[in-house]
Amino acid sequence: MINGMIVDKSYQAVTGRKGEIINRAMGVDYSKYERDGIVFDYEALMNDTGYTLEDHIRIQRRYNVGNTPIFELHNLTALARKCAAPGKGARIFVKDEASNPAGSFKERRAAASVYHAKKMGYKGVIAATSGNYGAAVASQAAMQGLKCIIVQECYDSKASGQPEIIEKARKCEALGAEVLQLSVGPELFYEVLMMLEETGYFNASLYSAFGVGGVETLGWELGHQFMERYGRHPDVVVCANAGGGNLTGTARGLKKAGCEARVVAASVDLTGLSMASDEQFNRKSFTTAHTGFGVPYATDPDHSDVPRSAARPLRYMDRYVTIKQGEVFYITEALATLEGMEKGPAGNTSLAAAFSLAQEMDRDQIIVAQETEYTGAGKHIQPQLVFARANGIEMLFGDPQTEVPGVNIVFPAAPSLLKARDAGLDRMRASLIRRQATRATGPITAADVRYLAEETNSGEAYVREVLKKLGY
C-alpha cells in the first residue's frame, strides 16, 4: 500500500511503472530529450541539471571530495622502460582518487547526487551498487544528513558472497546506511524500483546526469594539475571502464580543461563469463571494471536504471583495451612493492593497461592512470585469491594470454609479458549503430546519421558505411 492505495507489486507491474517511478524519484522527465527518429539530445540532458562545472567543484570541496593528488611512478616507469624498445617508455602517472573520504572517484558522483536530492527535499537516497559507489553514497548521505539505502547483488544461490562486495556492505553500514543484499539475478532493479516507490527517496543512479557531471571535475583537475606542475597536458589518459560514467565524466572534464589527451578505456577481460549466471557469479575475481559491464554498456548504454544514461563512453574513447585478471593482481603487487602505494586491485585496471601502453610511447610522453581506489579487508589481493581458489580457480605463473576467465588466473612470469590487448573498438561501434537502427520507426534520416556519428566518436561516412553493410 502506497499513500493509502493498494498497488500491484508483481515484477511485470513494477517494471512497467519504471518511467513513472524514476520520474518521481529524480524529478527528471526524460521524454523531453527524445527527438524525431532515434535521436536523443544528450547535451540538453547534461546541461539541464542546473549545475555548472564550477558548481560541482564548490559542492565537492564543501564535502571534502576532489582536489586529489597526482603522483609520478618513477620505479614503474623504469621497469616499463626495461621492457620497451630503445627510446620508448612514457612517464607513468596516477591520480590518487583513494584519498577521497570513502576511498574512490565515485564520491564525485555521490556528492552531486546527494546534494541535489537534499536540495529537492528528498529525505533519503537509494543506490543499486555492489561496488565503491555504495560507500561513496553512504559517506555523502552521512555528511549531508540524508537517509541512505544501498542495494547489492552479493550472493549466489548457495549464499556464498564475494569478499569484496561483503567488505563494501560493512563499509556502507559503518557509514550509517541500510544495506539490502540480494542473490544474483534480475531482481536487483526490481527491488530498487519497489523501494523508490515505497520510500519516496531519491534515485542516486550511477547513470544520472548529476553523477556523471560530478566526475567531470576529475578530468578538469587532471588537466590543470599537469599544466600547473609540468607546463603541459598528458598525452594519454587511461580510464578503467565498466558502466562508462568514469570515462565519460573524465573525458568531458579533460575537454573543459582544454586537454586533448587520447582517452583509452581499459577493462579486465572476463570473456565467456555471464554476469547474470548464478553458477559463474563467484568464478570471477573482479566485480567492476570488467568486460561483462564494459562492453554491453558501451554498445547499449541505456539498459540501466534510468531511461537515458548520461554515461556514454563510446562518445569519448579513442581506444579500448583489455587486461587479464592476473596482470591486474601483478601490477597491484608491483605498485605496493616498487612505489610504496597499496591500492585496491579493481582501481589498478587502468594502471596495468598504462604500464603496457607506456612501452609503445616515446620516453618524453606522459600516460596517466586516472584513478585509484582504497584497499583493505575483502578488497585486498589475498582474500580475493583465497576466494578464487575456494571456487576452483587455478593459480599459475606464465603467459597471461593463456588465462581463461572462470578457469584460471595467470600471473605474468615476467613484467614483459603484461600486455594490453585491443578490444575491437570498431566492432563495438558497429554494434551500437545496429542496436540504435533497429529502434527506428521509419527511414534512417540525416539527423539520425549525425547522432550516431556523435554516439560512436566517428564520422558520418563511417556510420553510412556501417548502415549500408547492415542493409539500411
> What CATH number has the domain bearing residue 229?
3.40.50.1100
The answer to whether residues 376 and 365 belong to one domain is yes
Confirm whether 350 is domain-assigned: yes
Task: Give Dmax (Cα) for the chain.
Answer: 74
Identify the DSSP state of 49.
T
The answer to whether residues 336 and 458 belong to one domain is no
Distance of CA 254 to CAs 225, 361, 430, Å? 11, 20, 26
Which pLDDT score, from 0 to 100, does residue 51 have? 97
257-296: string of b/e by CB count within 10 Å (b at 16+)? bebebebbbbbbbbeebebeeeebbbbbbbbbbbbbbbbe
Using only C-alpha atoms, the chain has a radius of gyration, in whole angstroms, of 21
pLDDT at 186 over 90: no
Place of cell 570498431: 426
The answer to whether residues 331 and 220 belong to one domain is yes
- Mean pLDDT value of segment 210-238: 97
Identify the DSSP state of 159.
-
Please spell the DSSP secondary structure of 285-324, one letter per residue: S-SSSBHHHHHHHHH-TTSSSSSS-S--GGGT-SEEEEE-
Q: Phi/psi zone of residue 357: left (φ > 0), alpha (ψ -120 to 50 degrees), beta?
A: alpha
Confidence of residue 184 (pLDDT cuts 50, 70, 90): confident
- Mean pLDDT value of segment 68-94: 98
CA quadruple 80, 82, 86, 91: dihedral sign: positive
- Mean pLDDT value of segment 276-290: 89
**What is the edge-to-edge ordering of all strands in the sheet holding 124-128?**
178-183, 147-155, 124-128, 202-203
Confirm whether 126 is domain-assigned: no
Confidence of residue 120 (pLDDT cuts 50, 70, 90): very high
The answer to whether residues 292 and 363 belong to one domain is yes
C-alpha cell of 72? Answer: 609520478
Confirm whether 154 is domain-assigned: no
Residue 457: give the domain boundaries: 425-470
The answer to whether residues 450 and 315 belong to one domain is no
Read off the pLDDT of residues 51-66 as tens digits, 9 standing for 90 and up. 999 999 999 999 999 9
Lowest-pLDDT choice from 128-142, 182-196, 216-230, 237-251: 182-196
The answer to whether residues 343 and 443 belong to one domain is no
Q: How many domains does the chain have?
A: 2
Q: Phi/psi zone of residue 88: left (φ > 0), alpha (ψ -120 to 50 degrees), beta?
A: beta
pLDDT at 2 over 80: no
The answer to whether residues 301 and 245 belong to one domain is yes
Confirm whether 191 is domain-assigned: no
Query: Do residues 371 and 239 lie in contact, with contact meaning Cβ atoms separated by under 8 Å?
Result: yes
Confirm whether 53 is domain-assigned: no
C-alpha to C-alpha distance for 156 and 166, rounded to whole angstroms: 13
Which pLDDT score, from 0 to 100, does residue 252 have? 98
The answer to whether residues 429 and 418 belong to one domain is no
Query: What is the pLDDT of the chain when averaged over all its residues?
Result: 95
Q: What are phi and psi of 203, to 5 degrees?
A: -85, 100
Query: Do residues 164 and 374 lie in contact, with contact meaning Cβ atoms separated by under 8 Å?
Result: no
Helix axes 209-230, 106-119, angle to 10 degrees: 130
The answer to whether residues 218 and 288 belong to one domain is yes
Confirm whether 93 is domain-assigned: yes
C-alpha to C-alpha distance for 393 and 402, rounded to whole angstroms: 14
Confirm whether 220 is domain-assigned: yes
Read off the pLDDT of residues 124-180 as tens digits, 9 standing for 90 and up. 999 999 889 999 999 999 999 999 999 998 898 889 998 999 999 999 999 999 999
pLDDT at 15 over 80: yes
The answer to whether residues 436 and 398 belong to one domain is no
The answer to whether residues 325 and 431 belong to one domain is no
Lowest-pLDDT choice from 60-74, 368-382, 454-468: 368-382
User: Above pLDDT 70, what percent of the chain?
Assistant: 99
Which pLDDT score, from 0 to 100, does residue 5 have? 55
Nearest to 78 by CA among 89, 70, 69: 89
The answer to whether residues 417 and 430 belong to one domain is no
What is the pTM for the complete model shown? 0.96
Confirm whether 203 is domain-assigned: no
Which pLDDT score, from 0 to 100, does residue 336 have? 97
Taken as a whole, the chain contains a residue count of 472
Query: Do residues 257 and 222 lie in contact, with contact meaning Cβ atoms separated by under 8 Å?
Result: yes
Q: What are phi and psi of 419, to 5 degrees?
A: -135, 130
Which pLDDT score, from 0 to 100, does residue 359 have? 98
